[in-house]
Structure 1
Amino acid sequence: MPQGNKRGVEVDFYDYTYDGGRENDYLSNGLGQLTDGALGETNFRLDPKKTGIKGYEWVGWKDDTLSKIPISIIFKFDSVRNFSQVDIHTNNHFTRDVRVFRSAEIFYSIGGKYYLPHTTKINYERDDTIEDARFVPLRMQNKIGRYVKIDLYFQARWIMISEVSFNSTEAVGNFSEEEPPPTTPQPPTTTTMKKNAHFDSFDRINSNSQSEKLDGDGDTETLSAQEEDEEGAKTKLEEGASNNSNDAPTLEQEKKEYDDEYISIIIGALAALIFLLLCVILIFFCRHKHRKNNNNRRGHKPVTTSHVAINLNDLRASTNGKLSNGNMYNSIATEEADSDHDGVGCCNGSSRGSEKFACKYPITPTH
């Protein structure tokens, strides 16, 4: 594995106890702080064991560019083993640019020179709440190997690890080292090409998307290689049966039915829209006509067609023939007027023309 990096002036995240070889800041063939059983504190600037070195329990690596290049750690065991789980104690002091790794890939090998293509990939859910250091368990699904390579991908600027422990048992059986991959692939037949292409694409999809949640820490892991191959073969058989049962006329008929259904939906929507538009126009026309009628009624005044008939003969009779100095009292002349005109033509038999006048004596009203 690569040697740790220095942080600032006071803190060095080196593996001080590594007993193997050191060459160009690369450690190999030895053991160190990652297997000594000592766990680091969340605050890596402390020195709880009074060693005089702050962050002594931690081995840390930084990536200033946030590239996708992982930190690779290779573990070698005395014999071929069956691995079930690995626990990695890591820090999540995110206010200091330290986080748990974003994802991890685990590779297995018998000889240590070539690693099997089928790996275990685990994605870790980002924690923005708790900064405490914690163990992150990674399931290994009972994979077989003597060499285990773990690639850790950065989530922040720093990855810090203080302990790595494995749960495994010794594998039973005869195991041979992996053969080197062929440099010049043989030209496959048409059937073999389709099969390989199908499984290769299926493996790539599963390596990126299929995952399971780990218990308690939000980890995810992909399916094993055997499960991927079985599911890929099953999917291929189902697709082949479906392709054989469907011929070209059936596809054309389905397409035509789909087009007809789509067109009918469009026609129905347009008809509904036209109906709503007609309703709006009708309502607007009725309201406009009603308003116009109200305005016409307000502009016209009522005209009275009744007439008053006046009988001039009745009016002349009510004046007693003459007016006394123009004074009347309930159509009865006053006493002064009557006395002045006594004997003056009152009972005169002379007449003008054919008109005759009758003498009227005053009547004293009774009380």
Structure 2
Amino acid sequence: MDVMKNIWEKAKTNIKKIVLAEGTEPRVIVATSKILKEGLADIVLLGDENKIKLTAAENNVSIEGAEIIDPVKSDHFENYVQYFYELRKNKGMTREKAYDTMKNVLYFGTMMVKLGHADGMVAGSINTTGDLLRPALQIIKTMPGISVVSSTFVMVLKDKQYGEGGVLLFADCAVNPDPDAEELASIAVSTAMTAKTLIGIEPRIAMLSFSTKGSAKHDMVEKIVDATNLVKEMDPDIEIDGEMQADAALVPSVARLKAPDSDVAGKCNILIFPDLQSGNIGYKLVQRLAGAEAIGPISQGFAKPINDLSRGCSSDDIVNVTAITAVQAQNQ
């Protein structure tokens, strides 16, 4: 399965408007040229128009067709300031502070998405994850029924016998350090949505642990059991089991020994890790030792799509994350 090729094709079927908030960054401008050329999305670049156009010329790329908005000069600026003030005034926000805050391209871009002036936002090439998530959590917030924003990595393995022809989703590997049972359940439901809408596969979820179906007793195991039961209450149609060790989740012969009564053991395509340490370690080990392609982190759980970039990202990475964001917007 060529995951990114499929995502590109989906993005082209229903063009969405995506804000690239760091519009003066050269990698973002080069990516914009590629996105527009491929027809993956309509693009809004935030920042000083003269600087953006000069940077495009210096990099010898065309951004014709991109909308360029300098937040303070925007016709919507005052409305955004007022909306943000009303949204946060009970938490000590003043109108003066709202005015200063809305000059920040991350807040302005998030407000564009919130009020329907864009379908999604991508940033993080020069800002931290915290800088991106803060306005998104304040303005966009989580989708109904989901308690936390989380992340997933799409792992594409050379060995096709695991997951969905070599494709697995790992979560959460980038956001929540120590999720409780309710948060783990939300992470699992969000990842199931991502599997269906973004990758086009039917989710089969393993809630991972060091125990399989009661082989060990511990509070950490009980948390996984509780989370599994909560997922079944939230969405009875999701195929899920836990608690489960990774080998029981992935290997049919092991599943028959450790979890003979499970409907998903041995054939899971989503692995939900018990905490951020295990998730982050797990995806990096598979990426490096198995030579897997790691696509992500992909943000999930927001009411509208907001995605983070690595500050070490390439222009091609920005193109791919924009395509992902566009497909998420198609399915909101």
Query: Larger relative CO (CA 8 A, sep 6+): 1 or 2?
Result: 2
Determine which structure has more spread, i.e. the larger CA radius of gyration. Answer: 1
TM-score interval (norm. to shorter):
under 0.3
